[in-house]
Chain A
């Protein structure tokens, strides 16, 4: 365990009473970080954990002197001490000598964080030539070493590549190599794996662990994912709304968290090893939050179509898909059209009142599959039978009744509601279009009823989407889809864009609504833990093909394919499993 020597080693960085406020027009300044104090020891990995708006990234940027000068106001009592100097007093020149040399930083989006028009080699050599004064040739040689060290295949050729020619994981490796070029004492990693697939995430985390051990540097690892952080941190600092809630070693944070928010973060997140019937939400831990949508939901009137299906998979099939194919076409050469298959023949069955999870990494075709089912994309081949009817062969007009019976909820709650419509308008349109209610007042009553069922106030009716948080918007999108009482609801990553604590609320809501309405879900997700919590059956996809299908319990317990096993192994477990 690294933590042994880390707990005794001398302090490298100490952050004392750091407060950062952002100046706003016509409004009082917004305090993003308040009185934050912590230390980073030599050869130690410290993790800053928190949900969006917790101030974790702002803290890191302040330590690097990278906050924008025109609107960020750092309180005068704040200190960032390194080598007995308060860095916040630095002038631009002094900052520049430190950055890239003593302290380096990597970011969430490797694609945009690298300059798109310069080669990887050029960008790396820049640091070496600046801080070490190396010649072009020497810098080049060192770059090859570095790229080799971070495990980029064919380092010599990779030097001449542009960032867009590398995959996401390779880009992040290149970023890490660039950050390590001058062997810094501290590496700040700001959500370095959030934009990456789970298997790539595992590789990057392993790489960081290896590099840290080899170079004896300190890492400040920033993440929203407590389970991930548990795999590599010596110490964890939990932040919320700009303040530190709790600080402790990884062991204590996981085994005996004192703070209720930390407890909530640990419990809200679905896990692979245990499946509760219902996820605890942040409200169960935090008394200070007043809204309790779940209670209201339960008190809502009984559903019009209560589910009467048996418990196990013997309900009649609702959706039978066979050999569904979808390709996109791209021009290539002079005349040829190059076929890019997105879904290469998917077959599965979804039973009434059940949930089928579709799992896979980005680009595996799971979203395309969902859109093609609903005829939002034109299928290239195969059949989709909904309630016995082949819906792909229907005319647009004949398909119209099925538009009511099959609905969808999208990933991004910020894009899925028309920003120029009030919530009421968004809900009334499907109600009136499919004649779910006769007359305006009846339609309005129905819409208000649905708002209540998803746990929102009546006042929401006249508001615009931008007045709601991400979780609330996802509730609105859910209500909109449910107004037409669909039998099938395709949920395309409905909780991926949300914070952990909000995820639990939405997942619970989905479960409750299914129990009440008997609706079937096709639940598309990259998150294996979430799928395990919510689904009855799972289908694993890779490169447009179905790798494996099966009942949730048996598939998770006994995966048949190598790929499924890799996926499952890559999911962060949340405990420090020791450094190799």
Chain B
């Protein structure tokens, strides 16, 4: 009942342009680096939306070109006739020291023997499957970003890869932040035994180094796929947020506006979520962003190692795995595409995070 009456109080919020968020936005608009980053991140999101609905890159798994088709960047690069390209590559560009193709094959064989490739078996199986797949009739000789060793379009793969990365990064970040925020708020606000119990839980989780914990969970789960990766990252990654939010709540629960609310007998739940939460929400927001960046990076590593996405899904990590073998043969384009796309997204995301933090910094707020 009281809650119902009180909830109407909150609806008046933010109708004028002088609230915290509109001021933060005004500051953000001044930050040119931040704006550019926002545009880039938004562009990635649009591409992800298009690819998720199948409008773009739906055919990433098809062999649309000859194998190892070189990149032409829509005609900007000028690839020679395909057969010649391979020879030329091997002899002039890639192997200035090696004398024959045979020698390179030896090196590659040695490599695949020493570097343990967890995906090797499955990839070979996949390759075998591909042979039975109906062959696309007209294969292109070159592609904008080139093709991989089965002639799949690297551009499409990169787009699909960003879909995986962004979905994993954002979902896991939301999950981890939600967990960390709720637990941190409860621990920081109530203190006492609740704090002791949650703190114990936090200590246990943070005692095991993060990557080791992820790998242990991955080892146990024996399952691959986007959902699994989200769960692994989200369920293990909340501890940093917990610590920060707990500290924020400890700070705020001693503040005088909270004391004033207590003096009126405002219920605890309401103080927790209506009084304090809006005051720490900028910390939450920045953390979602920081975690998303971290999780995008982690997903790439997991998928590279073969603990991430399934073999019939694509991720920048699995692309890098392919690209490693291709680089030795002089086919650099998949490495550049996957590494570059990731660097672009993560850079933009990080700069966006910085700009957000600056715009919402209470210290700067006071000075202005």
- A residues with a Cβ closer than 8 A to B are 24-26, 371, 374, 376, 399-400, 403-404, 406-408, 410-412, 415-422, 424-425, 428-430, 432-434, 440, 462-464, 466-467, 477, 480-481, 484
Chain A residue contacts of B262, Cβ below 8 A: 376
The answer, among A399, A421, A433, A464, for a CB contact under 8 Å with B5, is A433
**Residue in A closest to B14 when the chains form the complex, CB atoms:** A422
Question: Known contacts A429-B9, A433-B2; is A403 also within 8 Å of B264 by CB?
Answer: yes
Distance (Å) between the CB of B273 and the closest chain A CB? 12
User: How many inter-chain contacts with C-beta < 8 Å in the A-B complex?
Assistant: 97
B130 in the interface (beta carbon within 8 A): no
Contact, CB under 8 Å: A464 / B257: no
Other CB < 8 Å A-B pairs besides A429-B264, A433-B266, 10 of them?
A25-B30, A403-B264, A404-B265, A407-B264, A408-B263, A415-B256, A425-B9, A464-B18, A464-B19, A480-B260
- B residues with a Cβ closer than 8 A to A are 2, 5-6, 8-10, 12-13, 15-16, 18-20, 30, 255-257, 259-266, 275, 278-279, 365, 368
The answer, among A374, A411, A440, A467, for a CB contact under 8 Å with B263, is A374
Contact, CB under 8 Å: B275 / A418: yes
**What are 5 inter-chain pairs, A to B, with CB distance below 8 A?**
A24-B368, A376-B262, A417-B260, A420-B20, A477-B260
Distance (Å) between the CB of A386 and the closest chain B CB? 14
The 3 closest A-B pairs by CB, nearest first: A403-B265, A416-B256, A420-B278
A407 to B265: give the CA distance in the assembly, Å: 10
Contact, CB under 8 Å: B259 / A410: yes
A25 to B29: give the CA distance in the assembly, Å: 13
The answer, among A374, A417, A434, for a CB contact under 8 Å with B257, is A417
Distance (Å) between the CB of B262 and the closest chain A CB? 6
Question: Known contacts A420-B19, A425-B10, A425-B12; is A415 also within 8 Å of B264 by CB?
Answer: no
A26 to B30: give the CA distance in the assembly, Å: 9
Q: Is the interface of B mostly helix, strand, loop or mixed?
A: helix
Distance (Å) between the CB of A487 and the closest chain B CB? 14
**Residue in B closest to A407 when the chains form the complex, CB atoms:** B263
Contact, CB under 8 Å: B15 / A418: no
The answer, among A26, A416, A434, A466, for a CB contact under 8 Å with B264, is A434
Contact, CB under 8 Å: B256 / A463: no
A463 to B263: give the CA distance in the assembly, Å: 23
Distance (Å) between the CB of B360 and the closest chain A CB? 12
Which of B12, B257, B279 has the most chain A CB atoms closer than 10 A to its own CB?
A: B257
A374 to B259: give the CA distance in the assembly, Å: 10
Contact, CB under 8 Å: A415 / B5: no
A481 to B317: give the CA distance in the assembly, Å: 59
Contact, CB under 8 Å: A416 / B260: yes
Contact, CB under 8 Å: A400 / B5: no
Distance (Å) between the CB of B73 and the closest chain A CB? 41
Chain B residue contacts of A376, Cβ below 8 A: 259, 262-263
**Residue in B closest to A483 when the chains form the complex, CB atoms:** B264
The answer, among A418, A422, A429, A434, for a CB contact under 8 Å with B16, is A422
Distance (Å) between the CB of B16 and the closest chain A CB? 5
Contact, CB under 8 Å: A415 / B365: no
Contact, CB under 8 Å: A419 / B20: yes
Contact, CB under 8 Å: B5 / A424: no
Chain B residue contacts of A420, Cβ below 8 A: 13, 19-20, 278-279
Distance (Å) between the CB of A394 and the closest chain B CB? 12
The answer, among B5, B18, B261, for a CB contact under 8 Å with A432, is B5
A412 to B259: give the CA distance in the assembly, Å: 12
